[in-house]
Amino acid sequence: MSYYNSIIEAIGNTPMVKLNSVNKGIDATILVKVEYFNPGNSMKDRMALKMVEDAEKSGILKPGGTIIEGTSGNTGMGLALAAIAKGYKCIFTVSDKQSQEKIDILRAVGAEVIVCPTNVPPEDPRSYYSIAKKLNKDIPNSFYPNQYDNTSNAQAHYETTGPEIWEQTEGKITHYAAGVGTGGSMCGVAKYLKEQNSNIVTVGIDTYGSVFKKYKETGVFDEKEVYPYLTEGIGEDILPANVDFSVIDTFIKVTDKDGAIMTRKLAREEGLFVGWSCGSAVVGALEYAKKHLTKDDTMVIILPDHGTRYLNKIYNDNWMKDHGFLEEREFATARDIIKSKNGKSKLLIVNDKQTVEEAINLMSKEGISQIPVQDNTGNIVGSLTDSSILRKMIENPEVKLLKVTELMDKPFTFVAMDNTVDSLSSLINKENPALLVRDFEDQVHIITQHDLLLAMAN
């Protein structure tokens, strides 16, 4: 008889599939490593099992213990499968941008799930990083794998995924591309492949709102690069220990919209029902391939997970329309809006030491209805709007004498230069009446609802 003793023995040895449609116009051979064939439907099964087994060997994880991890969903699923096979309990913290399907799946396999806010710094006690660490400290006999800094993550891919790719391509691979989140799959595989052939080029796929690309190119961790984005599983506002920049040759950034549209194309045109970051990886890899690859090259792209995680997001037409992702028409970008304003989008700010009255006078003089608040280090720390000020002055006229920091609202959201008008419009609402954009000269510009209306009209 042929069978596995438990589900975790089914991890690995996933198939390689050639792309035939979405890569039209590219002469090179483009292959994808389809990781949803793992039992947990993602490549994270590999590193989850490795982290658990290494913790067992070192004595950190003991019988009857509890596994506690901050996860975007897929790592949690891999850890849950390992926990079921080995008899552990699981508690997972996730950010509130993760799809409901991921949360439901984790609960279905017996895990306790705690949902935490996305738009807080990693060190904030409410972040899913901080809460996982606190639970690990408070709960006896618990293990915090910390997929970001636990080098068993990258080692799992060095030992399994890398050798599989080398064998499946018979050593003919010339380029390797993968999304970079924790860095495990990108760097573990890249290290192995470069040891076999140092000429192999590795391409990391990043997202707008993440720090990786700029850090690779400049060595500077720029907090101004960090702002909210929707794509799950790639990009970070921290530098995980598993991200070894020395084995990543270059980065390509991909917008939320482009990744979402490509994900649906992969399902429709290639029969690959994959997750959002898979589409992002393909968009970035093909962008690189169009410029650099020849017919003699073979590129392998990692497709991390399955589309069932995203049924209510990118595979839902209403969700796609609400975020401006479904329309095929061409829209102007934030870059186009800034260019059309001929310098008039340069930011007017109020200093955090000024009074509300001074801010009102400046807004009146310049004919604007909202203004960011900046501290003495140049960071945007808040915002003021005329409607908010008016509401508070009706309650108490004396608030005009207060410092702006005592009355200000949260800062306006930063967005990428290449975001299109349709997606920008989905980010403007009563709580966030304007958007901020940082150009390549480090100048900050403001985009208002009026700017978006003009762009649509033209």
pLDDT tens for 212-267 read: 999 999 999 988 888 888 898 899 988 999 999 999 999 999 999 999 999 999 99
Q: Label residue 200 by pLDDT band (50, 70, 90).
A: very high
Predicted confidence (pLDDT) at residue 278 exceeds the cutoff of 90: yes
Pairing of strands 201-207, 250-254: parallel
Range in 72-81, 185-194, 313-322, 411-420 with the lowest mean pLDDT: 411-420
Predicted confidence (pLDDT) at residue 457 exceeds the cutoff of 70: no
Residue 131 CB partners (closer than 8 Å, separation 6+): 70, 93, 114, 116, 125
**Mean pLDDT value across residues 261-283:** 96
Task: Determine contact, residues 283/177, Cβ cutoff 8 Å.
Answer: no
Query: What is the pTM assigned to this prediction?
Result: 0.73
pLDDT score for 458: 65
In which element (H, E) is residue 157 found? helix 152-159
Predicted confidence (pLDDT) at residue 441 exceeds the cutoff of 80: no
More confident site: 274 or 404: 274
Tokens representing residue 363 in the block: 């807004």
In which element (H, E) is residue 413 found? strand 413-415
Q: What is the pLDDT of residues 139-169, one digit of tens each?
A: 999 999 999 899 999 999 999 999 999 999 9
In the chain, what percentage of residues exceed pLDDT 70?
97
Tokens representing residue 91 in the block: 């508690």
Pairing of strands 370-374, 380-385: antiparallel
pLDDT score for 344: 61
**How many CA atoms within 13 Å lie on the side-chain side of 356?**
21
Pairing of strands 250-254, 298-303: unpaired
pLDDT score for 439: 77
Fold of domain 44-143: Rossmann fold (3.40.50)
**Mean pLDDT value across residues 402-419:** 87
CA distance 184 to 78: 14
Question: Which among 127-136, 293-302, 392-401 has the top mean pLDDT?
Answer: 293-302
Residue 247 CB partners (closer than 8 Å, separation 6+): 187, 190, 191, 194, 202
**Residue of 33, 44, 50, 253 with catalytic role:** 44
Could you tell me which CATH number the domain at 7-40+152-322 has? 3.40.50.1100
Task: Mark whether 44 is an active-site residue.
Answer: yes
The domain made up of 334-457 is a member of CATH 3.30.1360.40: no
CA distance 64 to 83: 10
Q: Where are the domains of the chain?
A: 7-40+152-322, 44-143, 334-457
**Mean pLDDT value across residues 187-216:** 96
Q: Is the dihedral of CA 387, 390, 392, 395 positive or negative?
A: negative
DSSP string, 137-150: HHSTTEE---TTT-
Bridge partners, residue 306, by sequence: 274
**How many CA atoms within 13 Å lie on the side-chain side of 211?**
17
The answer to whether 7-40+152-322 and 44-143 have equal CATH topology is: yes
Predicted confidence (pLDDT) at residue 368 exceeds the cutoff of 90: no
Predicted confidence (pLDDT) at residue 345 exceeds the cutoff of 70: no
Q: Mean pLDDT over all residues of the chain? A: 90
In the chain, what percentage of residues exceed pLDDT 90?
59
CA distance 384 to 411: 9
Helix (H, G, I), strand (E, B) or coil at 233: coil
Q: Label residue 346 by pLDDT band (50, 70, 90).
A: low
Task: Determine contact, residues 73/45, Cβ cutoff 8 Å.
Answer: no
Backbone dihedral angles phi then psi of residue 12, each to the nearest 5 degrees: 100, 180
Q: Label residue 427 by pLDDT band (50, 70, 90).
A: confident
**Mean pLDDT value across residues 10-38:** 97
Predicted confidence (pLDDT) at residue 329 exceeds the cutoff of 60: no
CA distance 307 to 413: 29
CA distance 223 to 229: 14
pLDDT score for 343: 60
